[in-house]
């Protein structure tokens, strides 16, 4: 199936660019509970414990700030990267064709020498989709889980060969609609985050006793949020989930889907693919 076509918003009284104020799902400032996220594994939405609450945030449009966002500074970067793959319903084609494209994108943008794609997720914001846009502020890995995940997915032998090299984890996020007009992705500028605001969070998966760990974020007035309005299918956003370097470079990048406050109900859901990589210098 080719990318889904989004409806045009001409004639609709709806903001799809410029700075917006939207509710983001943060950790409550006064929360003392360990945050918990529960994935349903089905049509039901994710659930959260009482550590979470939606709170308003101003999200600047990165296209209008004229700021040069860089993966190693802000932790995220927009790039134009057309794909040769037309059928994102075929898992084998994604792995054979798209994974190679993602490796090239990550290597080119980050300067990493060796890039390994280890999985992907297609998200679709419709009612009967088991993987919908994630509406909680999060970073996919913590200081503890980045290396354990890399060893698990790369294998102990390969990971051992890489252990003395700088390692980064990069997600490559691409719309599978012509233009994103619902559930865009917001990124928190890594230079605006105090490390004390990262909160280790438990993730519970269905049909298993395994409990994962990510970072959630406690809200702070210093944090700066950005999105790229009306992202197109030929564009990708790179998101850094981890960096072993500790010299002031961006190491973690909280991000989340959000909704426009005046969202027109007839706008179709967002569909996207996020492809996950570990890379080494």
pLDDT score for 245: 97
pLDDT score for 179: 95
pLDDT in tens, 241-267: 999 999 999 999 999 999 998 888 888
pLDDT score for 1: 44
Which residue stretches of the chain have pLDDT < 50?
1-11
φ and ψ at residue 132, rounded to 5 degrees: -100, 170
pLDDT score for 265: 84
pLDDT score for 73: 98
pLDDT score for 4: 43
pLDDT score for 11: 40
φ and ψ at residue 85, rounded to 5 degrees: -80, 125
pLDDT score for 127: 65
For residue 242, the surrounding DSSP H or E stretch is strand 235-243
Sketch the domain layout of the chain as residue ranges. Answer: 20-280
pLDDT score for 208: 81
Retrieve residue 62's tokens.
Answer: 């990165």
């Amino acid at each position: 199936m080719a990318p889904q076509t989004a409806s045009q918003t001409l004639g609709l009284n709806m903001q799809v660019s410029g700075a917006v104020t939207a509710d983001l799902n943060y950790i409550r400032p006064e929360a003392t509970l360990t945050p918990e996220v529960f994935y349903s594994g089905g049509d039901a939405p994710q659930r959260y414990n009482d550590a979470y609450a939606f709170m308003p945030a101003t999200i600047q449009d990165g296209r209008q700030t004229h700021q040069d966002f860089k993966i190693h500074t802000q932790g995220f970067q927009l790039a134009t990267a057309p794909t040769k793959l037309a059928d994102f319903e075929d898992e084998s084609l994604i792995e054979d064709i798209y994974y190679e494209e993602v490796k090239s994108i990550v290597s080119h943008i980050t300067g990493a020498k060796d890039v390994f794609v280890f999985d992907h997720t297609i998200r679709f914001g419709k009612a009967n989709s088991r993987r919908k846009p994630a509406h909680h502020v999060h970073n996919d890995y913590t200081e503890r889980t980045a290396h354990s995940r890399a060893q698990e997915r790369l294998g102990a032998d390969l990971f051992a060969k890489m252990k003395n090299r700088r390692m980064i984890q990069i997600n490559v996020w691409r719309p599978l609609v012509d233009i994103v007009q619902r559930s865009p992705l917001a990124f928190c500028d890594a230079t605006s985050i105090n490390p004390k605001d990262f909160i280790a969070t438990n993730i519970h998966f269905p049909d298993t006793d395994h409990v994962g760990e990510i970072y959630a974020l406690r809200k702070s007035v210093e944090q700066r949020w950005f999105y790229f309005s009306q992202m197109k299918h030929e564009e990708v956003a790179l998101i850094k989930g981890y960096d072993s370097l500790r010299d002031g470079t961006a190491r973690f990048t909280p991000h989340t889907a959000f909704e426009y406050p005046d969202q027109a109900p007839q706008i179709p859901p967002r569909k996207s693919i996020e492809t996950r990589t570990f890379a080494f210098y």
